[in-house]
Amino acid sequence: MIDFIQIILILFYVATGIQLFYLVVFYGRLVFFNKPAAASNHFEPVSIVIAAKNEYLKLKKFLPLLLTQDYPEYEVIVVNDNSTDDTEFLLKEFQFEYPHLQFITVNGEGNFFNGKKFPLSIGIKSAHHDLLLLTDADCIPASNQWIKGMQAAYQVNTEIVLGYGAYQEQKGLLNKLIRYDTLRVALSYFSFAKWKIPYMGVGRNLSYRKKLFYEQKGFMSHYKISSGDDDLFINKAANSKNTGICLNPDSKTISLPKQSFGDWVAQKRRHLTTGIYYKKLHLSLLAISDISLIIFYLSAVYLLIKDLSLYQVYIFLTLRFILHILITKKFMLIVGERKLLLFSPSLELLITVVGPVMAIYNMLYKQRKWK
């Protein structure tokens, strides 16, 4: 008869096998067999769309970096969403210096969407070009080649390009946690897209065609959900043939990270509210990865507490640790991240613990609306 410790050992083996499959097959294909997009000589006109609400200081600092890109033909559209600061005056000043800047001011209670979906829809519908590039008011393009890199990822049938939205490197554990979590999520959605099962993108650095936006009827299928203007739209619109990825470090964006753990938790909770609406295949694959990791750690701890002589547990712990380090290091090099590698095992363990807690908390308490 199989005793309890043997059952835990079997669970450990199963979880280990699943984890090795994801690391080697899913993520390994992206980081070890990725071919950078070739430079393009064809520069299609681009419309950059930003929704901003009371973002005067950020726009004053960062908007010129978007307006001075090395690209032959593009426009920047800022939708000023009911701002009560001096955003509109700033945009008028910038417009004198940068004629390719357009802005739209939304006033009143006409926002029948929640969050950024209504202002983004206004900006997209006002765009003069089919190729759209979306980002946020606090995002800094890594270089003046941002548009070129994202545009180069478009092929004949491409309608969506997923970009990397990093967070600014700062001191402290919280910053490392935020940047590692961002890196981990990006590794996941890039890898899934590489395997022709794209499931999300981030609005900090995302591109798709205006035609596709109209074909999908914009955000109508999930307009009652305050977040999801990026990942829910991509989850619905992306397929095995129409999605490309841009891993060029010159074409990433860099955002300002949250400065308190509470603010970061609130942001993560908001993102988690959209995940339950993903397609069943995506939910299943993501759940298998997350649950197997939890079982892997818990069963390993239990087995070692019961019997420190179980050498196979040490072997598989070491093997997964090495693979995790190799893949993390390679992906960091690809997207231009740094100073995270040594902390990555402990940060992964922390996220493994915090993630389920936030998911349970989400089921008990409602989220605040986007302000």
- What tens digit of pLDDT does each residue of 104-160 get? 998 866 555 567 888 999 999 999 999 999 999 999 999 999 999 999 999 989 999
Q: From residue 218, give the alpha-carbon distance in Å to each of 111, 159, 234, 274.
A: 14, 14, 11, 16
Helices (H), 228-279: 231-237, 261-275
Q: Which domains does the chain have, with CATH numbers?
A: 4-32+281-364 (no CATH), 46-259 (3.90.550.10)
Tell me if 347 sits within 8 A of 334, measured CB to CB: no
Question: What does pTM read for this prediction?
Answer: 0.92
**167-226, pLDDT tens digit by residue?**
999 999 999 999 999 999 999 999 999 999 999 999 999 999 999 999 999 888 787 777
Cα 228-232-233 angle, rounded to 5 deg:
105
